[in-house]
Amino acid sequence: MPMALIFYAAVDDLTDLSRRLFEVPGIELFEEYSPPDQSNLFFKTPDEIARYLSKGAGSFAAWPSGVGGALTRKHIVFSGEHQDNSGGTGRTVLESPAIIRLAAITDVEGCLNPSSISCWTEKGARQRSMYGEEAIAGVDWSKLKSIVASVERWIKKSSPARLHSHPVMPAAYSELNEGKALLWNFGEKVGPAALESLPPHGR
């Protein structure tokens, strides 16, 4: 199974999260799936992530190069109907069993949608991923797990509240309490009364 954490975040929170990821030595942040007939973007600063997300992008990815599992590029050719709908002929996907995925669709029906950070575990990659033995064996799985667990702890520690077990990060919490947003709880719109506040020592 993948290693994953679901949390609530506004764009400012996701920018801060990218800043935390950039602290990992040798990490690269990028678009996993390119726009039609374009190259995948690679991000060098948190400000670039902020601009990317503010334009409506729904995800980005990271690869800590020190764990192995080198990035490869795969070109996907669209079907005729998809070409007509997208206006392009195909796209490029960046792949590695060591990719860390950030799903960050922040607006659903005017609400902040749950975000997530996830990566493969070695067991999950062997059982469920498309990667071959050579690619899986080339990853330092303990190091990848340590990096992602550290980022997950940072998210939890920085979050002043939670909805059920899901951390609510500071900017999302402020937007909620200022009446600027609601949270999208898997089909239900949720206001601040539903949150559990977390004292700093209890996060």
Average pLDDT over residues 35-41: 92
- Assess if residue 52 is contained within a domain: yes
- Assess if residue 35 is contained within a domain: yes
| Helix/strand/coil (H/E/C) assignment for every residue in 45-109 | CHHHHHHHHHCCCCEEEEEEHHHECCCEEEEEECCHHHHHHHCCCEEEEEECCCCEEEECCCCEC
- Assess if residue 103 is contained within a domain: yes
Instruction: Report, in angstroms and rounded to the nearest whole number, the Rg of the chain calculated over CA atoms.
Output: 18
Q: Are 50 and 29 in contact (CB under 8 A)?
A: no
Higher pLDDT, 105 or 32: 32
Q: How far is residue 108's CA from residue 48's CA, in Å, rounded to a whole number?
A: 23
- Assess if residue 172 is contained within a domain: no
- Total number of domains in the chain: 1
Q: How far is residue 175's CA from residue 136's CA, in Å, rounded to a whole number?
A: 41
Return the pLDDT at 2.
83
- Assess if residue 32 is contained within a domain: yes
Return the pLDDT at 84.
61
Q: Could you count the other beta carbons within 10 Å of the beta carbon of residue 82?
A: 16
- Assess if residue 192 is contained within a domain: no
Return the pLDDT at 107.
75
**Predicted confidence (pLDDT) at residue 153 exceeds the cutoff of 80:** yes
- Assess if residue 196 is contained within a domain: no
Q: 49-90: per-residue pLDDT in tens? A: 999 999 888 899 999 999 999 999 999 888 877 676 777 888
Q: Which residue has the tokens 């602290």?
A: 23
- Assess if residue 147 is contained within a domain: yes
Cα torsion through 162, 165, 166, 172, rounded to 10: -10
Lowest pLDDT segment from 123-127, 168-172, 173-177, 190-194: 190-194
Which residues form the domain of 96? Answer: 3-159
pLDDT above 90 coverage of the chain, percent: 73
Average pLDDT over residues 141-161: 97
Angle at 112 between CA 12 and CA 13, to 5 degrees: 20
Return the pLDDT at 80.
76
**Predicted confidence (pLDDT) at residue 203 exceeds the cutoff of 60:** no
